[in-house]
Structure 1
Amino acid sequence: MLAPESSCVNATVNAMVNCSFADVDSVMKYLELVIYVPIFVAGLILNAVALFVFCVVLRKWTESTIYMTSLALMDLLLLFPLPFKMHATNHCWNANLQRLCSILESLYFVGIYGSIYTIMCIAVDRWMAICHPFKAKQLRSPRAALGTCLAVWVVVLAAILPTTYRFREAGGEEFHCFHRFSGKGWSPKVIICVQVFGFLLPALVLVYCSVKTIWALQQSGQRSAQSRACVKIIYSSLCAFLLPFTPSHLGILLQFLVRQEVITDCSSMRSISLFIQVTMCLSNITCCLDALCYYFIAHEVRSSRNSFRLSRMSQRRATFSTSEV
């Protein structure tokens, strides 16, 4: 998510210079701490516990656990720059730290859009398993899930790393990291790619697969614990995607209209600046909402393991009874 303007040593040098954002900066100075600190602490704990459960406790590498492990790693990558982001909100950085800033911004965006595409892949995997079970036997496997996760990492890194390095122009002035991107960062080509490929396309795929999967489960008439768990996973994935990312990408679109001087009213620009900063802060809550998916997946894996054990025990009892006769 591209950040709005923020004043440092020099004010902005565009049409926004005649509009004061001091009240917005004053509000965000404290609001970001209120939002970021709980998200950072809770997200760090939840994702670390999720990795421990999937990698140490369960140790059953199904398609779901592989996707969840990759998602937890994406969330941790998103959380890593948050302390630097909080510091940069209230402090100017020296010009020689621009390279470090670009790296942190890149990691932040990789975590965001990697999470988006991983959640989309989970929805596609579920849709294929439930709506197309015969094809799923050929296409779904832990190896295929691992390959998909690696492909997401490679594609997101290849798309974001070269792009974010062009967001900042070399200069000798102090700056706010995560703020005041150059005109290249707000170019129509970049914003269209962010909106279409970064949000709209994954959102459409996620909603389509989720609706189809829920409809298939309802039509089948199954009321088992596994089907109920599957529906809960679908709803939790929708919440982890739509609630954080829809408002923030709407804010990006509005801020783009400001940068293109489509919106020039000072009051509207201040409202948009506050809106995009608040929604961007709240979008990081996806690190905590993903914990819902972790819980249901872990419960599903443990339930399937217990049912497998019960079936094996019943087979042994039947064999023992037969041998006695």
Structure 2
Amino acid sequence: MLMMSQTDIMTNNMTDSCTEDFKHVDGVMKVLELVFYIPIFVVGLILNIAALVVFCGLLRKKTESTIYMINLALMDLILLLILPFKMHATNHEWPASFHELCSILEGLYFYGIYGSIYIIMCIAVDRWVAICHPFKAKQLRSPRVTMVICVVVWMLVSGSVIPVIWNFRNTKNGTFHCFHQFSAEGWKPPIIISVQVFGFVLPALVVVLCSVQIIWTLQQSGQHSPQSRACVKIIYSGLCAFLVPFTPSHLAIFLQFLVHQGAFQDCGTKANLSLFIQIAMCLSNITCCLDAMCYYFIAHEVRNTRHSFRMSIMSQRRPTNSTSERERGESS
């Protein structure tokens, strides 16, 4: 009969402790995901469908802002429609034959996240051009150019996200939890660095720099018109919709990457980081609801623009009418 060494006993005890820690994390997340996802799914679905109805149907004239909002709502809907599958995968194991379906769902999920990030970045750049460079804006901005930019974003995200996500899933036999247990291929340094730099850091820098310069320009101009106030609200809502959901999730991805690189060895620390990344990814889905602030202010801005356009036409007609009346009086 073989005797177990003290090291073997300690290893088994640590393994049992790690298993218990991660089981506790899984139990907590089964509850939290329902708490987060059900309201996000219901509210986000209503808001984004309403946005598409307004921007596609009620607003006949398509401006640069409305085209961006339509594409942002479509990205949000892709993300929202994956949430029921994500909730089911947390509480149920899927058979091995569902590996390809899982890879497709995971690809669409990250497609919606990074598509939203790049559309918000394009909105910030579009605002920066329109406000900080108004003379160049006439040549650079148009609905047709905006459509081309949105198509490029869809193609760019398709070409970068989906092929990478397809290799995230372990091709082992047996049941598995979709959206969990990514293979070591998905945590390689080149992939994580690319995700952090091109998926978040660079777009975040662009959004923040454009937003700061726009707000500074508006303050320097001293304009306090309804359009300028609406524009400032759009800028702040865009910053909120970008930084609040995506900053914690990408910080969590970086910390989990450090775990895979062996930077953390303690089971409790690993379990806490696992809990943090799962909560952060849950909160990242709130972007589907935060984007509604942009929808509201864009629609409000369009209404104000139409109102000011009507008032300018009326003001142009009044002098013309008064001049013609004076001419009639002089001739008589």
Q: Same-fold call, TM > 0.5?
A: yes
Question: What count of residue pairs does the alignment treat as equivalent?
Answer: 311
- Do the aligned partners of 1:127 and 1:212 also contact (CA within 8 Å) in 2? yes
Q: What letter corresponds to residue 273 of structure 1 in structure 2?
A: S
What SS is found at the alignment partner of 1:172?
coil
- The TM-score normalised by the length of structure 1 is 0.93
> In the alignment, what sits opposite 1:215?
216
> In the alignment, what sits opposite 1:245?
246
Q: What letter corresponds to residue 44 of structure 2 in structure 1?
A: G
> In the alignment, what sits opposite 2:173?
172
2:102 is the alignment partner of 1:101: yes
- Do the aligned partners of 1:123 and 1:210 also contact (CA within 8 Å) in 2? yes
Larger C-alpha radius of gyration, 1 or 2?
2
> In the alignment, what sits opposite 2:162?
161
2:291 is the alignment partner of 1:294: no
> In the alignment, what sits opposite 1:232?
233
> In the alignment, what sits opposite 2:186?
185
- Do the aligned partners of 1:36 and 1:281 also contact (CA within 8 Å) in 2? yes
What SS is found at the alignment partner of 1:261?
coil
- Do the aligned partners of 1:118 and 1:152 also contact (CA within 8 Å) in 2? yes
CA deviation string 1:36-57 (max 9, x = no partner): 0000000000000001111111
What SS is found at the alignment partner of 1:181?
coil
Looking at structure 2, the residues matched to 86 and 311 of structure 1 have their Cα atoms a distance apart, in angstroms, of 53
Higher helix share: 2
2:116 is the alignment partner of 1:110: no
CA deviation string 1:54-83 (max 9, x = no partner): 111112211111111110000001111100
> In the alignment, what sits opposite 1:82?
83
- The TM-score normalised by the length of structure 2 is 0.91
CA deviation string 1:140-182 (max 9, x = no partner): 1111111111100000011011111111132221110000011
Looking at structure 2, the residues matched to 44 and 126 of structure 1 have their Cα atoms a distance apart, in angstroms, of 27
Q: 1:100/1:319 Cα in 2 relative to 1: closer, same or farther (>3 Å)?
A: same
Q: 1:226/1:92 Cα in 2 relative to 1: closer, same or farther (>3 Å)?
A: same
CA deviation string 1:244-281 (max 9, x = no partner): 00001010011111111111111111110111111110
CA-CA distance at 1:17 after TM superposition: 7.8
Looking at structure 2, the residues matched to 101 and 271 of structure 1 have their Cα atoms a distance apart, in angstroms, of 26
- Do the aligned partners of 1:75 and 1:111 also contact (CA within 8 Å) in 2? yes
> In the alignment, what sits opposite 1:260?
261
Q: Percentage identity across aligned positions?
A: 68
CA-CA distance at 1:314 after TM superposition: 3.1
Looking at structure 2, the residues matched to 132 and 307 of structure 1 have their Cα atoms a distance apart, in angstroms, of 22
Where structure 1 has 5 or more consecutive residues not aligned to the other structure, the ranges are 1-14
Q: What letter corresponds to residue 241 of structure 2 in structure 1?
A: A
- Do the aligned partners of 1:36 and 1:86 also contact (CA within 8 Å) in 2? yes
- Do the aligned partners of 1:77 and 1:107 also contact (CA within 8 Å) in 2? yes
Where structure 2 has 5 or more consecutive residues not aligned to the other structure, the ranges are 1-13
2:252 is the alignment partner of 1:280: no
What SS is found at the alignment partner of 1:80?
helix
RMSD (CA atoms): 1.3
